[in-house]
Amino acid sequence: MRFSLLFIILILISSSYTYSQKLSEISIGANFFETKSYGNNPFTIASLMRDPLSYTNYISSFQHDAWGGTGGFYSLQKNISLGASFKLNGNEHWKRKLLFQTALTIGLQETHSTGSLSKRYFLEPTPGISQRIFEELLVSETRNYLGMSLGALYIFNENKKVSFFTGIQYLHQFSVVHSYTSSVQKLTFTSLNGDPETMQTATYDQNRYWKGKTYSNSRLFVPFGLQFKIANNYILRPTLHLGIFLPPKPFRVIDESHGFGIHFIKKL
């Protein structure tokens, strides 16, 4: 519902441009955002699943004596941006330098670990043979996003070959791919009559699958950088991003957002 409402609002805003603005640029580019992880251990991710009870029952059935998360690591979230920019009608100096931007963003799918449960135990299957066994249940998450961005850009000395720019951007994304998988890895160290150990590996209970919820996250950031005129009506615009990131519930605590992008622009 919120996904549909967002697109309706963006379409209405974009359609209003035709009355007060003129299409000035079209662009294609890539953005890279360094994002702090959330839901990064086997217990907290249940809240992001469509069937948390099934998952909770499964991990509860795996007897363990230790668990681990992935900590507050930063992952690199990537997207492709297809955009359009508009200028206000009029010949005032500031109007010629100000761009209003909107873009569709298409994420690049990413997979990362969300932690593990583990146990160690000893066996002596026959006299003279001793075994140390280590089992670990590994869980990983796969996700991808589709989003829209709105913003404004102010370009200083736009008629020069190299110009500085800055502005404000808001990016809202929804997960269009979101799932979890798990498997169990088993390491067996065997010693015969006190001889050096030999190791065997095995993987079982592979590719258990859980659907994730559809959720949203947002970014508000300041883009800035230098634009380069590389040919008549063509511009290259490398960009740095600094701002804030709002993750999904129940991890909704404002965090820093930083990254970079590069965009290829055709002036109209």
pLDDT tens, residue by residue, 106-158: 999 988 888 889 999 888 888 888 888 899 999 989 999 999 999 999 999 88
Give the pLDDT confidence score for residue 21 in this predicted structure.
66
Residues in the chain where the model's pLDDT stays below 50: 1-5, 7-8, 12, 16-19
Give the pLDDT confidence score for residue 6 in this predicted structure.
52
Give the pLDDT confidence score for residue 13 in this predicted structure.
52
Q: Specify whether the CB–CB gap between 153 and 166 falls below 8 A.
A: yes
In degrees, rounded to 5, the angle at the alpha carbon of residue 77 between the alpha carbons of residues 179 and 112 is: 40
Domains of the chain (ranges; CATH) run 2-267 (2.40.160.20)
Give the pLDDT confidence score for residue 3 in this predicted structure.
46
Residue 64 to residues 133, 137, 167, Cα–Cα distance (Å): 13, 9, 51
Give the pLDDT confidence score for residue 261 in this predicted structure.
96
Per-residue tokens: 216: 């949203």
